[in-house]
């Protein structure tokens, strides 16, 4: 159940003030500022959901930091061929914050979950999971989706063509498309590409400076922590065991209380909750279905076509290791050299376009199209 505006304002303002500037200026320890270089030492965020009060200070911080840098599309947006390729335009709905959009990298799920004969209020910050072996990075045919040594998976908006392969292969369908922006406008916009895919890049520019992600730094409850993954995995296991014990579960059921530790082969976003995630996921799916029904009705009333594909609200069900599949692994090996070449050509084209000056760019200047990842 979503909190009303007055409650959110009270929680955000009052508790953020109580937390003070010591939190907002949080920096990474020096040992974490440099890329780790090993997959087991990726920087990983651990979220203790028992601490989250749903104030959405993390959402505000993310939007304040990055949304102003995101581009507006050219108008009219070129129609893609074949006609079945959807045009996705969120530029008129930048205020939407209850799901993932190209202009909203992070949102909070507000749930009431039936558990052990009682209703439990739970709040879940949702964004990219930053998989350790990310299918979006391995299977992007243009090399636009990249896996940093720091454990960050991000999309380079200067070379992304908006083909949505990353969204299709992501187990949670995280990336979201904005048509009418990006490199494809300078190619053959009807036939090549359809915009740019956007998602959380975990404040990569700040991480490179040794600073913490904004959602972590601005949280008044210190819901998140960031550290090498090996340490976070151990901490997640300890927390999950403690929460399982407090919930009356048998010790061997501790895995029911942690999410992201093993999903999709392991992610660099790990959640621990005071109740089993199968119950959380059931509540999520029920809530998503109700919201989808309402949004379809609202779109019909406004004379607007319903949003294509998923809702931009990821579930939290069991996810097998997608890159452990032989077919995906073979495809990744085949794509790698082509994707590397495509990425190099894309960067060269983007650089040439910048050097050519504003006249070569049909949309806003290059910096405005980087989504804060420059």
For the chain, domain boundaries: 5-369
- Cα–Cα dist 210/21, whole Å: 18
Contacts of 309 (CB under 8 A, 6+ apart): 86, 167, 173
pLDDT value at residue 15: 44
Q: What is the mean pLDDT of residues 105-130?
A: 97
- Cα–Cα dist 213/174, whole Å: 19
Q: What is the mean pLDDT of residues 31-53?
A: 73
User: Considering the chain, what is the average pLDDT of its residues?
Assistant: 83
pLDDT at 148 over 80: yes
The C-alpha R_g of the chain, in whole angstroms, comes to 21
pLDDT at 363 over 90: no
- Cα–Cα dist 86/74, whole Å: 16
Q: How many Cα atoms within 13 Å fall on the side-chain side of residue 303?
A: 0
By the 8 A CB rule, do 195 and 180 touch?
Answer: yes
Q: What is the mean pLDDT of residues 42-64?
A: 97
More confident site: 242 or 370:
242
pLDDT value at residue 350: 63
More confident site: 299 or 327:
299
The model's confidence at residue 229, banded by pLDDT at 50, 70 and 90, is very high
pLDDT value at residue 318: 94
Q: What is the mean pLDDT of residues 117-127?
A: 97
Q: Torsions phi, psi of 18, nearest 5?
A: -65, -35
pLDDT value at residue 309: 54
Which of the residue ranges 80-94, 170-184, 354-368 would you say has the lowest mean pLDDT?
Answer: 354-368
DSSP letter, residue 115 = E
pLDDT value at residue 19: 41
- Cα–Cα dist 353/364, whole Å: 12
Chain centre distance of CA 335: 24
By the 8 A CB rule, do 207 and 152 touch?
Answer: yes
Q: What is the mean pLDDT of residues 34-46?
A: 65
At 70-102, the pLDDT tens digits run 999 999 999 888 877 888 999 999 999 999 999
pLDDT at 14 over 70: no
More confident site: 83 or 154:
154
Q: What percent of the chain is predicted at pLDDT more than 70?
A: 75
Q: Does domain 5-369 have CATH number 3.30.70.20?
A: yes
Enumerate the β-bridge partners of residue 108: 125
pLDDT at 308 over 70: no
Q: What is the mean pLDDT of residues 158-183?
A: 94
Q: What is the mean pLDDT of residues 147-155?
A: 94
């Amino acid at each position: 159940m979503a909190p009303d505006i007055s409650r959110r304002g009270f929680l955000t303002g009052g508790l953020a003030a109580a937390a003070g500037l010591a939190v907002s200026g949080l920096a990474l320890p020096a040992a974490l500022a440099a890329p780790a270089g090993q997959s087991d030492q990726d920087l990983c965020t651990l979220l203790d959901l028992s601490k989250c009060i749903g104030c959405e200070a993390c959402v505000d911080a993310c939007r304040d930091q990055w949304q102003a840098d995101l581009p507006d599309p050219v108008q009219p947006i070129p129609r893609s061929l074949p006609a079945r390729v959807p045009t996705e335009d969120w530029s008129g709905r930048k205020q939407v914050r209850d799901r993932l959009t190209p202009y909203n990298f992070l949102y909070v799920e507000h749930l009431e979950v039936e558990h052990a004969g009682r209703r439990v209020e739970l709040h879940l910050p949702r964004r990219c999971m930053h998989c350790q072996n990310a299918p979006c990075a391995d299977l992007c045919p243009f090399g636009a989706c990249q896996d940093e040594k720091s454990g960050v998976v991000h999309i380079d908006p200067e070379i992304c063509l908006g083909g949505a392969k990353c969204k299709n292969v992501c187990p949670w369908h995280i990336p979201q498309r904005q048509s009418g922006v990006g490199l494809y406008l300078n190619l053959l916009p009807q036939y090549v590409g359809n915009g740019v895919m956007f998602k959380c890049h975990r404040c990569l520019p700040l991480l490179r400076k040794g600073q913490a992600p904004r959602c972590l730094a601005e949280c008044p409850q210190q819901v998140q922590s960031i550290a090498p993954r090996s340490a976070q995995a151990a901490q997640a296991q300890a927390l999950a065991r403690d929460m399982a014990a407090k919930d009356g579960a048998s010790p061997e059921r501790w895995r029911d209380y942690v999410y992201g530790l093993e999903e999709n082969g392991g992610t660099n976003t790990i959640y621990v909750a005071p109740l089993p995630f199968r119950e959380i996921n059931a509540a999520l799916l029920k809530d998503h279905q109700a919201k989808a029904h309402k949004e379809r009705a609202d779109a019909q009333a406004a004379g607007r076509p319903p949003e294509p594909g998923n809702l931009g609200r990821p579930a939290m069900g069991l996810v097998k290791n997608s890159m452990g599949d032989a077919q995906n692994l073979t495809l990744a090996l085949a794509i790698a050299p082509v994707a590397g070449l495509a990425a190099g050509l894309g960067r060269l084209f983007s650089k040439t376009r910048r050097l050519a000056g504003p006249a070569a760019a049909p949309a806003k200047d290059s910096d405005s199209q980087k989504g804060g990842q420059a």
